[in-house]
Structure 1
Amino acid sequence: MDDARTQMARQFIEHLPHCAALGMSLEQIGDGQAEILMPYAEKLIGDPETGVIHGGAISALMDTCAGAAVMSHPRAGISTATLDLRIDYMRAAKPGTTITAHAICYHVTRAVAFVRVSATDGASDVPVAAATGAFTVERGAS
């Protein structure tokens, strides 16, 4: 069952134009975790010879998923923004596969939330990419 915070985060993510443009779909969210899928699409190809998805699309997926995890964390604020996101690309995603990002917000301070994210395609035990990030915690007026 979704609480009000999780529902607000779900609605926000589902209405972002870049999510729609990249074909992202929010699969799970709550308690500081989120999972977003991005199906393979020709418009996302970065290398026409191999059909591999562009790293920018993968980074957008991971950033969005991390922000969703922060928004759903019980100790986080009403909104968030990326302060820092370090992504390590480990291998090319297999052409034709859906990429799944899973994010965990593992620590929240008064002003900053810390997140880990992985992106997988189901074709290998090795992730496509892994990231760590820091995000703002904006609580609004008290």
Structure 2
Amino acid sequence: MFDGNGQFDPAAFEALLSGHGHNSLLGHRYHAHGPDWVELAMPWQEALVGDRATGAFAAGPVISLMDNTAGTAVWMKRGGFLSQVTVDLRVDHVRPIATGATLIARCTCYRLSGPIAFVRGVGYDVSPDDPACQVNGTFMLIEGQGA
């Protein structure tokens, strides 16, 4: 889960998670990251469709991807996998995701304040400049682990 310089590696971490539990079922996978952001992706699957008439993703898988990505952004900011709990997560659906498209979530942990981490991000299918959804979240950092 760490690179050669001892830094948290979200690609290695997500590779570990992607084969287990709901991450595997939903198809979550690492997409990209930069110094202060991370992207996870969820390919379209018929099993995740919430509206058969349009082929749109159900809300639950979208929220799960956004929560997973937001939590990974906190781990990047904290420098590793440390215990935390999602306290609040708001996902605003701005427009429909194109049928058959992969949803990519990009999140940034922009502030750590005592035991709370603040995250914001977008979900998109073509460009982060044209989001399908937006997310804002707060996470409680578990005491004694880098809080």
TM-score where L is the length of structure 1:
0.85
Name the counterpart of 1:10. Answer: 13
1:138 to 1:85, Cα distance in 2 relative to 1, 3 A: same
Aligned-pair distance for 1:40? 0.6
**Aligned alpha-carbon RMSD (Å):** 2.7
CA deviations 1:22-60 (Å, max 9, x no partner) are 001012356552210100100000001111111111111
Gaps of 5+ in 1: none
Task: Quote the offset at 1:14 in angstroms.
Answer: 3.5
Residue aligning to 2:27: 23
Cα 1:79–1:22, aligned 2, differ >3 Å: closer, same or farther? same
Structure 1 residue aligned with 2:65, among 43, 61, 72? 61
1:66-77 maps to which residues of 2 (within 5 A)?
66-74=70-78
In structure 1, what is the Cα distance between the partners aligned to 2:139 and 2:19?
A: 20
Equivalent pairs counted in the alignment come to 142
**Does 1:126 pair with 2:108?**
no
C-alpha separation between the residues in 2 aligned to 1:14 and 1:65?
12
The answer for the alignment partner of 2:84 in structure 1 is 80
After superposition, the Cα gap between the structure-2 partners of 1:27 and 1:126, relative to the gap in structure 1 and judged at 3 Å, is closer
Residues 30 and 69, structure 1, Cα contact 8 Å, conserved in 2? no
Q: Kindly state the Cα deviation for residue 79 of structure 1 after the two structures are TM-superposed.
A: 1.8
C-alpha distance in 2 between matches for 1:126 and 1:6: 29
Q: 1:22 to 1:87 in 2, by over 3 A?
A: same
Normalising by structure 2, we get a TM-score of: 0.82
- Residue 49 of structure 1 is aligned with which of 50, 53, 77? 53
Map residues 89-104 of structure 1 onto 2, 5 A cutoff.
89-104=93-108
Q: How does 1:33-44 map to 2 (within 5 A)?
A: 33-44=37-48
Q: Secondary structure at the match of 1:132?
A: strand
Q: Is the 8 A contact 1:76 1:108 kept in 2?
A: no
After superposition, the C-alpha distances for 1:97-141 in whole angstroms (9 at most, x for unaligned) are 000000000000120000002000117953110011100112536
Separation in structure 2 between the aligned mates of residue 32 and residue 70 of structure 1, nearest angstrom: 10
CA-to-aligned-CA distance 1:53-101 (integer Å, 9 cap, x gap): 1111111100000000001114787221100011111111110100000
